[in-house]
């Protein structure tokens, strides 16, 4: 069997990524983005009259990744500290003699690698955002179908009060919707990088600003008003957006995993043949929940590395810039896998309303203690009502204890107590909140 050379085909890597996103992150994709950047440099110089069109054509003709060996370039990168230097050397040797002085014209290595990474993000974000949209659509479907499906809400790990599964799904939906909106906004603002050796654009003379505009346009990136060699806000914005997305998917995964526990049993992951155990034939593990949770737990360290690397000295960094490359690509990889798995998890989620109701009723009405206290509060005051209901809640049979307490019966009839113990009557604005989330999602996807 031939060893795999692709990051997305590695034995473990497929468990954390998505193939369509990873295809935009591998060595060939990054190499092509670097070559696209070199071609754009030549085209931009031609646009402003610094370079003959035939020279730019000759350079662009050789800017195809299949002409170069990423492994050899990676090995050669050790001598210069980045892969741009050996690539420029090979590209210069490949073009015709008249074009050689114009390869990499006016740029520095960071210009090429920063712009290439921005291109990689731009391209990988396409399938990534589609996965997030699919996950949000699936969450919206659950929220709509289960708008009024009763279940118990849990706070601090304990059963608390009634809610609806629709509201829980609406919370997932809004988290995914907000994360997608942030990432899409960052993607649209991704800037090209061009400043030359120290950020002055000296190699282009007075045409420098015009070259920047044309360079960015050729790449489909935003034109930055100044070079951002050591002003790393674009990277921080991207790190925060990807970290937020992984947090949103991680929230969904954690909830699903907890609700799928045997003792809870309120949901289960779908997918024929998924979730088996190597040792226990009876088990059906929430695999997508597990893998998304794992990705979410890796994200803070990567985001932290990018923020730690952002303090960069003077006009060019000594290590801070270099520390960004792999964490940034890894964040994209994890975000793609988490988004795709969350979409699959929610699309196939099996919801068990009967089990939700059984768990809600298991406390014998104790989950409605707040509702009973609220009915007593106008007559007794909030504190006294709270203490009275708490006293009834300590004995066996909450309803019976309430009806047997003369202080309760002085203010509440049997019908009043039964109404207070109806979970459907203690949902507040749950339905309205679900509808608001669905409206926001619908408006944001038009």
Which residues are known catalytic residues? 277, 316
Q: Which two tokens stand for residue 365?
A: 């009405």
Structural contact between residues 430 and 165, judged by C-beta atoms closer than 8 angstroms: no
Between the alpha carbon of residue 430 and those of residues 62, 170, 236, 332, 437, the distances in Å are 60, 10, 36, 35, 11
Q: What residues are paired with 267 via a beta bridge? A: 351
Structural contact between residues 288 and 342, judged by C-beta atoms closer than 8 angstroms: yes
> DSSP state, 16?
T
**For residue 422, which phi and psi values (nearest 5 degrees)?**
-85, 115
Q: How many CB atoms lie within 10 A of CB 197?
A: 17
Structural contact between residues 352 and 267, judged by C-beta atoms closer than 8 angstroms: yes
Between the alpha carbon of residue 269 and those of residues 95, 118, 132, 152, the distances in Å are 55, 36, 18, 20
Which residues 6+ apart lie within 8 Å of 18 measured at CB?
A: 127, 128, 131, 336, 337, 339, 340, 341
Please classify residue 9 by burial: count the beta carbons closer than 10 Å to its beta carbon, then call 0-12 exposed, 13-18 middle and 19+ buried. middle
Q: Which two tokens stand for residue 439?
A: 């409206």
Closest C-alpha among 103, 116, 123, 126 to residue 33 = 116
Please classify residue 280 by burial: count the beta carbons closer than 10 Å to its beta carbon, then call 0-12 exposed, 13-18 middle and 19+ buried. exposed
Q: How far is it, in rounded angstroms, from Cα 9 to Cα 46?
A: 40
275 in helix, strand or coil? coil
Structural contact between residues 368 and 161, judged by C-beta atoms closer than 8 angstroms: yes
């Amino acid at each position: 069997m031939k060893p795999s050379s692709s990051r997305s085909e590695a034995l473990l890597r497929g468990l954390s990524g998505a193939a369509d996103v990873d295809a935009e992150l591998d060595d060939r994709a990054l190499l092509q983005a670097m070559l696209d950047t070199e071609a754009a440099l030549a085209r931009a110089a031609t646009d402003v009259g610094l370079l003959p069109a035939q020279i730019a054509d000759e350079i662009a003709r050789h800017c195809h990744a299949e002409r170069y060996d990423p492994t050899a370039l990676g090995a050669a990168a050790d001598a210069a500290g980045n892969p741009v230097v050996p690539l420029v050397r090979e590209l210069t040797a490949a073009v015709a003699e008249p074009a050689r002085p114009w390869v990499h014209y006016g740029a520095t290595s960071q210009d090429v690698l920063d712009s290439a990474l921005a291109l990689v993000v731009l391209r990988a974000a396409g399938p990534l955002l589609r996965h997030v949209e699919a996950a949000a659509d699936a969450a919206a479907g659950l929220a709509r179908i289960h708008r009024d499906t009763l279940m118990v809400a849990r706070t601090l790990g304990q059963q608390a009060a009634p809610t609806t599964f629709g509201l829980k799904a609406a919370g997932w939906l809004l988290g995914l919707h907000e994360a997608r909106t942030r990432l899409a906004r960052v993607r649209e603002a991704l800037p090209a990088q061009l400043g030359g050796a120290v950020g002055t654009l000296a190699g282009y003379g007075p045409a420098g600003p015009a070259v920047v505009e044309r360079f960015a346009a050729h790449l489909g990136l935003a034109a930055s008003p100044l070079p951002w060699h050591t002003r790393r806000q674009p990277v921080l914005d991207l790190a925060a957006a990807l970290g937020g997305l992984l947090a949103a998917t991680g929230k969904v995964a954690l909830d699903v995993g907890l609700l799928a526990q045997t003792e809870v049993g309120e949901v289960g992951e779908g997918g024929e043949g998924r979730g088996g155990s190597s040792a226990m034939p009876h088990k059906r593990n929430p695999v997508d929940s597990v893998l998304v949770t794992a990705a979410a737990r890796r994200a803070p360290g990567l985001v932290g590395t990018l923020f730690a690397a952002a303090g960069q000295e003077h006009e060019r960094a000594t290590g801070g810039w270099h520390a960004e490359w792999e964490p940034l690509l890894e964040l994209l990889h994890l975000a793609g896998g988490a988004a795709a798995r969350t979409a699959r998890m929610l699309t196939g989620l099996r919801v068990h309303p009967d089990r939700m109701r059984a768990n809600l009723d298991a406390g014998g009405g104790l989950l409605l203690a707040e509702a009973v206290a609220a009915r007593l509060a106008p007559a007794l005051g909030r504190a006294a009502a709270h203490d009275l209901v708490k006293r009834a809640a300590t004995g066996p049979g909450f309803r019976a204890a309430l009806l047997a307490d003369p202080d309760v019966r002085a203010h509440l009839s049997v019908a009043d107590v039964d109404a207070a113990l109806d979970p459907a009557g203690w949902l507040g604005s749950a339905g309205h909140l679900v509808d608001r989330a669905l409206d926001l999602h619908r408006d944001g996807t038009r």
